[in-house]
Amino acid sequence: MVGGTIDLAGIYTAYEGSDRPVLKNVSTSIASGEFVVVGGPNGAGKTTFLESINGMLPITHGQARVCGLDVTSHGYAVRRRVGYVIQNFAFDPLAPFTVRHVVMMGRYGLLGYGKQPGEDDRQAVDEAIHLLGIEDLEERPIGKLSGGQQQKVLIAQNLAKNPDILLLDEPFSNLDLCTRDFISEVLTGIADAGCTVVMVSHAFDALPTREIRILVMNDGHLSLDTCCPADEVEERVRTHSGGPHA
């Protein structure tokens, strides 16, 4: 992990078949190794924001550079360097893969077409499994695990990739309180090692005790872009989220 930068200059993102942009004139710059929390109400555009960074959605106006690469013309190269833990993902109960297989899938994009995993790949998988503390699950079929266990496996899969940037979409949603604390420590360690972490979350009780960069989205705009201590994040997000509870 060497850490990656994110530079968005006035980007607009629209879903295919729609002429209404979801993200509207979003600009921000995130430095290597920052720990960023993205908050805001349902439907505000948080997932769209992550998928725009990852080059998964067309940017209709403006420019997005990630790890110094233009996302529109270098989407594949960007995704090799960016891990993405998606929202509310659940494996098919009959999926024919063990946990180890699923974590190894994090290496496939780096391997090149038709290449078999080597010692480096196995080592990266071992390290990710160890970091998430899921050694006891390694040979279990992925589809038979609980939602929280699957969530840990998905995080391990993305870490096995040794990403420069890790995007996470509500990674705490399936996790009990102790596991949230544990994952928060893991993510802090990753950011301390230089990986940029951008996490969408509604759970602010398990944030790292370091300065947090907060981005709040509202109706496709950034309504707040600032830094604050972890214990102020919830209040800041609440007061900038609009709606009747603001």
Ligand X SMILES: Nc1ncnc2c1ncn2[C@@H]1O[C@H](COP(=O)(O)OP(=O)(O)OP(=O)(O)O)[C@@H](O)[C@H]1O
List residues binding Mg ion (CB under 5 A): 46-47, 87
Q: Does 13 bind ligand X (CB under 6 A)?
A: no
CA-CA distance, 158 to 164, in Å (whole number)? 11
Burial (CB count <10 Å: 0-12, 13-18, 19+), residue 242: middle
Query: What is the nearest approach in angstroms of ligand X to the Cβ of residue 199?
Result: 12
Query: What is the nearest approach in angstroms of Mg ion to the Cβ of residue 196?
Result: 20
Q: Does 20 bind ligand X (CB under 6 A)?
A: no
Q: Does 118 bind ligand X (CB under 6 A)?
A: no
Contact (CB, 8 A) for 142 and 99: yes
Instruction: Specify the residue, 46 or 81, whose C-beta has the smaller distance to Mg ion.
Output: 46
Query: What is the nearest approach in angstroms of ligand X to the Cβ of residue 180?
Result: 18
Q: Are strands 196-200 and 69-70 parallel, antiparallel or unpaired?
A: unpaired
- Residues 6 or more apart whose CB falls under 8 angstroms from that of 159 comprise 83, 106, 127, 128, 131, 132, 166, 190
Q: Are strands 23-30 and 35-39 parallel, antiparallel or unpaired?
A: unpaired
Query: What is the nearest approach in angstroms of ligand X to the Cβ of residue 18?
Result: 6
Per CB under 6 A, contacts with ligand X among 40-99 are 40, 42-48, 87
**H-helix segments, the chain:** 46-53, 75-81, 99-111, 119-132, 147-160, 177-192, 233-239
Instruction: Specify the residue, 51 or 121, whose C-beta has the smaller distance to Mg ion.
Output: 51
Scanning 14-22, 25-33, 128-136, 238-246 for contacts with ligand X by CB under 6 A, the matching segment is 14-22
Amino acid at 112: G
Instruction: Specify the residue, 187 or 215, whose C-beta has the smaller distance to ligand X.
Output: 215
Residue nearest to Mg ion (CB): 47
CA-CA distance, 210 to 150, in Å (whole number)? 27
Give residues in contact with ligand X (CB under 6 A): 15, 18, 22, 40, 42-48, 87
